[in-house]
Amino acid sequence: MPSIVKPVATHPSFQRNDLGLTIRDYEGTMSTLCAGCGHDSITAAITRAFWEVATPPHMVAKLSGIGCSSKTPAYFVNGAHGLNSAHGRMPPIATGANAANRELVYIGISGDGDSLSIGLGHMCHAIRRNVRMVYVIENNGVYGLTKGQFSASADVGSKSKRGDPNRMAPIDSVMLGLSIGATFIARSFSGDKEQLVPILKAAISHRGFALIDVISPCVTFNDHDGSTKSYLYTRQHELKATETDFVPPASEILAQIGQNGAVNVTMHDGSMVRFKGVPPNYDPTDRGKVMEYLEEHQGKGEVVTGLLYLDESVPDLHEMNKTTDIALTKVPYQKLCPGAAALDRLQEDFR
Amino acid sequence: MRDRINDFALKLANVNGTGSASANGLLMQAIFRMGIPVSGKNLFPSNIQGLPTWYEIRVNKNGYTARSLDYDLMVAMNSQTYARDIKEVREGGYLLYDSSWPLDPALLRDDVHFLGVPYAQLCNDNFRDPRERILMKNIAYAGSLVAALQVDMEIVTALLDEKFAGKKKLSESNTRALRLGYDYARDHFDLPLPFHLEKMGANHDKILIDGNTAIALGCVYAGATVAAWYPITPSTSAMDAFKVFCEKYRKDPETGQNNYIIIQAEDELAAIGMVIGAAWNGARAFTSTAGPGISLMNELLGLAYYAEVPAVIIDVERVGPSTGMPTRTQQGDLLECAYASHGDTKHILLFPSNPAECFEFAPVAFDLAERFQTPVFLMSDLDIGMNDWVVPRLQWNDAYQPDRGRVLSLEEIENLPKFRRYTGEDENQITPRTLPGVHPKASYFTRGSGHNKFGGYTEVPDEYQEVMDRLLKKHKAAAKFVPAPIVQRRPEATFGVLTLGGCDPAVREALDLLAELGAVGDFMRVRGFPFDDAVESFLAEHEICFVIEQNRDAQLRSLLTLETNVPKDKLRSILIYGGFPLSARHVVDGILQEFGLERKPVFAAANRPAGEVPMEE
């Protein structure tokens, strides 16, 4: 599958963002995934989110592991460096990249095989370190590239294309994230760009690890009757817990705060996330309440979506390690090397 | 009998976790400060408390400080191992033991002098606290050794003062215990022993340092900013030392912020991933590990090799496949590192022989990793890494500037019509790379999947091979850049000896001894892989070459047969891989045996090497 370069012709009517760029400037190469793949919709939402936030394309770093989902970083933000690594290993690679240069915006794309099986440990530890990055799990409950094996997110009773039911309990990234201190947790549906774009924009602003689990039906291996990750099933069972507005730092629409019982969370960079339509007794900043709500509704077979939990108070990797404000890669060598005189003094201790 | 000055070996048998290490280290350091060539080898168990542990000190005025197997004096402080410890003393040697309890008469030897000091009794009489009674026994036997070997008391006292500065009570206890052992020995034995110490001036330009400390310091000086690791013996102290040095040298004096980051990863797969991510972004990044960690890193090492991302891996080798013997030394990771990962891969390896070279090679490793855009392994081992070595003072040239390799600047990118990642190779087959965050025109998709020279995905055979062929040539080109081998030639040499790493002192000593016996050989210590032309010509020059290394499978020999033109039957192996450092005797015996010659009587006196005495269950 060679990568197919898209023509970059733009139409004068295309809107431009704060950097004067059109959405075409945030696109990548042509997707080689199956027609109708949920992942392509997520790619479109990511493209849109970066364009709307107006991140300079070269300040984005795209990372992925292996699998259908991990191919997608090639399909958005062409001007960004990408690193397609090994199966499950994206979180540590992103952690190292972030450690070296905290000035870039990191987005990691993975799948349920990548994140919930082979790389489960890595994802958990990236969450614990609160590595500042947008972390998308394109969750289809199935291994696509190896043709249809169940993944660890497959629900009990969900049927494979050949009709075999899955008997093992799923690993739910949202509940897992809540239990190990994730600071930003969302679930969405690839078919719902309206919901996904503001979540992605909020994730870009989040100071820490932003976990976004997106149900993304596999049209080839997991879109049949009996699957719980199909388009039909998800549409029938989706329960939108929250609706999210993302308010960039510069926009002065603070007057709207507080209406209709909305919950507002100010992000570290001064932007704001507005939770609208939040059900009674649901507070997206209260971990216990979120867990309770999810337990109740997921127990009924509902797929709860929205920006489900947010905590802006936890220090990220760099704050925990008290690293310098600039990228470590920008610290001049003279500041890093103690020099010959210091070495002479030090060696008095080695006598 | 004339006294033997500054030429003997002693071995101390202790119980792990009882505080003997500090007493033994104190003795070794005192001898070092007396200006005498000395080495100390800690032969310790994988255990926190209770199992037997040994420490060997060799003193040699001529500078031969490889491990000796001929123990003139055994300090037997562990009743569990009395039987084997007593066996190991050389004929006419001495054994110092705790006579608070009687020694089993069956263990006595006619040809060994037994010196009993009631250490437990002395300490029980003089100290109240049970823990102190145990700890002070160590300082007490050190006191006896000060008397027996004529260690300079002023130096010992000064060391204790430095160690316990500000801890008055501890200082008093230690001084008292030292005196107890000293006085008892002086009053009861004919001292000094016929082998003892006299001050020399050999160490004024030397330091006492272990390889892990030196390698960590080298990483600081090289400008490493990102370190990722998973704790593993015997490399842990390298990262501990890196942290200590970073806290000292890398805190911004104005902001108090750190110009470094150390991440304790969830496993070694993650540790190498973090290094690759950081290096992809342009940081000097490294990990420190041991063989089991390298096994886990294999997967991503292939990514770094194929996608051409720098990485520095410090491998402090230990014994064995699987868990093996974590606290014992070996050179068993050569092949694993040289060809780490699946598919066609070849890596650059550096082989320091002592802590001074650990320090010296650390910046070389980063320079090579960035210049060649590839993983570089800095291959130390437990003996080098965890034992204190007497080495020349470390040197630093303030004119050093890191070689960041071919990284395009913003200006260069702007002037480029189009950036194609794996094109534009130089004479070393290196192509320029770009770093994220510089310019949208420089972006590319780094991938471990099949790619062509433009960096694009490919499954086309010719395109795949084209990139792989360049990588092979690039690896070969690195031969000119790794540290050159050390060669010592002798007129009349009839054979060659090749070795690496920490075998150096034992092999050199052995060649001196062999020359006295009329078996004259040339010496080469390889310091890097790929091998340069000097290795090829050394092999060609000699009819027979002995390859001396510390592993079972003759891994250096294998690497030489695979990567040079040498005929296989020209290479003879001498392999010591039980887990204790190499001794000259191993080498001399091995070479003489190959030539069908008898060994010199001096070696016949002692019993079997310690490593070969079976442990009593």
Model pLDDT for residues B421-456, shown as the tens digit of each residue: 999 999 999 999 999 999 999 999 999 999 999 999
Contact B208 A351 (CB under 8 A): yes
Least confident among A157-171, A271-285, A307-321: A271-285
Question: Beta strand B206-210 with B388-392: parallel, antiparallel or unpaired?
Answer: antiparallel
Instruction: Say yes or no: B255 contacts chain A, CB-CB below 8 A.
Output: yes
**Residue B67 backbone phi and psi in degrees, to 5:** -60, 135
Determine, yes or no, domain membership for A133. yes
Q: Measured between alpha carbons, how far is A217 from A229 in angstroms, rounded to an integer?
A: 6
Which candidate from B259, B401, B445 shows the least CB-CB separation from A82?
B445
Taking only the tens place, the pLDDT of each residue in A102-144 is 999 999 999 999 999 999 999 999 999 999 999 999 999 999 8
Instruction: Say yes or no: B266 contacts chain A, CB-CB below 8 A.
Output: yes
Taking only the tens place, the pLDDT of each residue in B91-111 is 999 999 999 999 999 999 999
B321-350 as b/e: b if 16+ CB within 10 A? eeebbbbbbbbbbbbbbbbbbeeebbbbbb
> How much is the average pLDDT of B1-6?
85
- How far from chain centre, in Å, is Cα B556? 17
For residue A74, the distance in angstroms to the closest alpha carbon of chain B comes to: 7
> How much is the average pLDDT of B380-387?
98
3-class state of residue B91 by DSSP: strand
For residue A192, the distance in angstroms to the closest alpha carbon of chain B comes to: 28
User: Which of B196, B187, B112 is CA-nearest to residue B146?
Assistant: B196
Instruction: List chain A residues with CB under 8 Å of B254.
Output: none
Q: Residue window 382-421, chain B: list those with CB within 8 Å of chain A.
A: 393-398, 400-402
Q: Cα dist. A97→A124, A131, B282 in Å?
A: 17, 10, 9
Among all chains, which residue has been given the structure tokens 């704790």?
B231
Instruction: Say yes or no: B459 contacts chain A, CB-CB below 8 A.
Output: yes
Mutate to test the interface with A, among B210, B281, B286, B391 (most CBs of A within 10 A): B281
Under the banding of pLDDT at 50, 70 and 90, the label for residue A247 is confident
Complex ipTM: 0.95
Find the residue in B nearest to A128 (Cα): B266
Determine, yes or no, domain membership for A5. no
Mutate to test the interface with A, among B217, B219, B259, B261 (most CBs of A within 10 A): B261
User: What DSSP designation does B67 have?
Assistant: B
What the block records as the tokens of A158 is 């969900």
Determine, yes or no, domain membership for A281. yes
Contact A337 B223 (CB under 8 A): yes
Determine, yes or no, domain membership for A16. no
Find the residue in B nearest to A127 (Cα): B266
Instruction: Say yes or no: A217 contacts chain B, CB-CB below 8 A.
Output: no
Q: Which residue type does B220 have?
A: V
B569-605 as b/e: b if 16+ CB within 10 A? ebbbbbbbbbbbbbbbbbbbbbbbeeeeeeeeeebee
Which candidate from B259, B438, B456 shows the least CB-CB separation from A335?
B259
**DSSP assignment of B472-529:** HHHHHHGGGTSPPPEEE--TT--EEEEEEGGGHHHHHHHHHHHHHTT--EEEEEE-EE
For chain A, give the mean pLDDT: 92
Per-residue pLDDT at B242: 98
Q: Residue B536: which H helix or E strand, with range? A: helix B533-541
Task: Using the predicted structure, report yes or no on whether residue B149 has a pLDDT greater than 90.
Answer: yes
**Please, which residues have CB within 8 angstroms of residue A235's CB and are 6 or more apart in sequence?**
A189, A191
Under the banding of pLDDT at 50, 70 and 90, the label for residue B599 is low
> How much is the average pLDDT of B183-205?
97
pTM tops 0.80: yes
User: Which of B559, B576, B485, B586 is CA-nearest to residue B335?
Assistant: B559
Which candidate from A92, A104, A333 shows the least CB-CB separation from B274?
A92
Mutate to test the interface with B, among A58, A60, A344 (most CBs of B within 10 A): A58
Under the banding of pLDDT at 50, 70 and 90, the label for residue A7 is low
Determine, yes or no, domain membership for A327. no
Determine, yes or no, domain membership for A343. no
Per-residue pLDDT at A5: 67
Instruction: List chain B residues with CB under 8 Å of A100.
Output: 225-226, 277-279, 281-283, 285
Going B76 to B81 to B86 to B87, the CA torsion angle's sign is negative
* Residue B108, Cβ density class (10 Å: 0-12 exposed, 13-18 middle, ≥19 buried): exposed
Q: Quick count: other Cβ atoms within 10 Å of Cβ B561?
A: 18
For residue B221, the distance in angstroms to the closest alpha carbon of chain A comes to: 5
Under the banding of pLDDT at 50, 70 and 90, the label for residue A251 is low
Contact B446 A99 (CB under 8 A): no
Mutate to test the interface with A, among B263, B300, B403, B454 (most CBs of A within 10 A): B263
For residue A112, the distance in angstroms to the closest alpha carbon of chain B comes to: 19
Under the banding of pLDDT at 50, 70 and 90, the label for residue B609 is very low
B408-439 as b/e: b if 16+ CB within 10 A? beeebbeebeebbbbeeeeebbbbbbbbbbbb
Instruction: List chain A residues with CB under 8 Å of B456.
Output: 2-3
Per-residue pLDDT at A258: 46
Instruction: Say yes or no: A53 contacts chain B, CB-CB below 8 A.
Output: no
Which candidate from A91, A329, A339 shows the least CB-CB separation from B396?
A339
| Domain housing A276 | 23-322
Task: Using the predicted structure, report yes or no on whether residue A260 has a pLDDT greater than 90.
Answer: no
Q: Which residue type does B384 have?
A: I
B123 within 8 A of B100, measured Cβ to Cβ: no
What own/partner pairs with CB < 8 Å and gap ≥ 24 does A163-167 have? A163/A226, A165/A226
Cis preceding-peptide flag for B530 (omega within 30 of 0): yes
A44 within 8 A of A197, measured Cβ to Cβ: no
Q: Quick count: other Cβ atoms within 10 Å of Cβ A202?
A: 29
Find the residue in A nearest to B218 (Cα): A337
Under the banding of pLDDT at 50, 70 and 90, the label for residue A12 is confident
Mutate to test the interface with B, among A59, A132, A351 (most CBs of B within 10 A): A351
Per-residue pLDDT at B275: 98
Taking only the tens place, the pLDDT of each residue in B13-22 is 999 999 999 9
* Residue B480, Cβ density class (10 Å: 0-12 exposed, 13-18 middle, ≥19 buried): exposed
* Terminal-residue alpha carbon distance, chain B: 40
Task: Using the predicted structure, report yes or no on whether residue B611 has a pLDDT greater than 50.
Answer: no
User: What DSSP designation does A180 have?
Assistant: T
Which candidate from A58, A324, A336 shows the least CB-CB separation from B440?
A58
**A207: CATH:** 3.40.50.970
What own/partner pairs with CB < 8 Å and gap ≥ 24 does B101-108 have? B107/B82, B107/B83
Find the residue in A nearest to B260 (Cα): A323
Going B325 to B326 to B331 to B335, the CA torsion angle's sign is positive
For residue B68, the distance in angstroms to the closest alpha carbon of chain A comes to: 24
- Between A12 and B231, whose confidence is greater? B231
**Structurally, how many domains does chain A consist of?**
1
Q: Measured between alpha carbons, how far is B208 from B372 in angstroms, rounded to an integer?
A: 34
Query: Which domains occur in chain B, in start order?
Result: 4-196 (3.40.920.10), 209-392 (3.40.50.970), 410-480 (no CATH), 486-612 (3.40.50.920)
Instruction: Say yes or no: A321 contacts chain B, CB-CB below 8 A.
Output: yes
B367 within 8 A of B374, measured Cβ to Cβ: no
Taking only the tens place, the pLDDT of each residue in A154-205 is 999 999 888 899 999 999 999 999 999 999 999 999 999 999 999 999 999 9
Q: Please state, for a pLDDT cut of 90, what percent of chain B lies above it.
A: 94
For residue A348, the distance in angstroms to the closest alpha carbon of chain B comes to: 8
For chain B, give the mean pLDDT: 95
Per-residue pLDDT at A147: 85
Q: Measured between alpha carbons, how far is B78 from B85 in angstroms, rounded to an integer?
A: 9
Find the residue in B nearest to A84 (Cα): B447
Determine, yes or no, domain membership for A334. no
Find the residue in A nearest to B401 (Cα): A333
Per-residue pLDDT at A306: 95
Kindly report the three-state secondary structure assignment for every residue of B308-361.
Answer: CCCEEEEEEECECCCCCECCCCCCCCHHHHHCCCCCCCCCEEECCCCHHHHHHH
For residue B583, the distance in angstroms to the closest alpha carbon of chain A comes to: 26
User: Which of B295, B341, B298, B339 is CA-nearest to residue B318?
Assistant: B295
**Please, which residues have CB within 8 angstroms of residue B422's CB and are 6 or more apart in sequence?**
B308, B431, B451, B452, B453, B454, B455, B467, B470
* Terminal-residue alpha carbon distance, chain A: 63
Find the residue in A nearest to B30 (Cα): A351
Phi-psi region of B169 (alpha: psi -120 to 50; beta: other; left: phi over 0): alpha
Q: Residue window 279-318, chain A: list those with CB within 8 Å of chain B.
A: 317-318
Contact B280 A103 (CB under 8 A): no
Instruction: Say yes or no: A120 contacts chain B, CB-CB below 8 A.
Output: no
User: Which of B151, B80, B83, B77 is CA-nearest to residue B115?
Assistant: B77
> How much is the average pLDDT of B493-518?
97
Q: Measured between alpha carbons, how far is B67 from B170 in angstroms, rounded to an integer?
A: 33
Under the banding of pLDDT at 50, 70 and 90, the label for residue B395 is very high
Determine, yes or no, domain membership for A347. no
> How much is the average pLDDT of B388-406?
98
Q: Measured between alpha carbons, how far is A318 from B54 in angstroms, rounded to an integer?
A: 43
B443 within 8 A of A81, measured Cβ to Cβ: yes
Contact A125 B456 (CB under 8 A): no
Contact B274 A333 (CB under 8 A): no
> How much is the average pLDDT of A26-48?
95
Under the banding of pLDDT at 50, 70 and 90, the label for residue A257 is very low
Taking only the tens place, the pLDDT of each residue in B524-561 is 999 999 999 999 999 999 999 999 999 999 999 999 99
Instruction: Say yes or no: A260 contacts chain B, CB-CB below 8 A.
Output: no
Taking only the tens place, the pLDDT of each residue in A202-219 is 999 999 999 999 999 999
Q: Measured between alpha carbons, how far is B499 from B575 in angstroms, rounded to an integer?
A: 11
Instruction: List chain A residues with CB under 8 Å of B256.
Output: 322
Q: Residue B38: which H helix or E strand, with range? A: strand B38-43
Instruction: Say yes or no: A2 contacts chain B, CB-CB below 8 A.
Output: yes
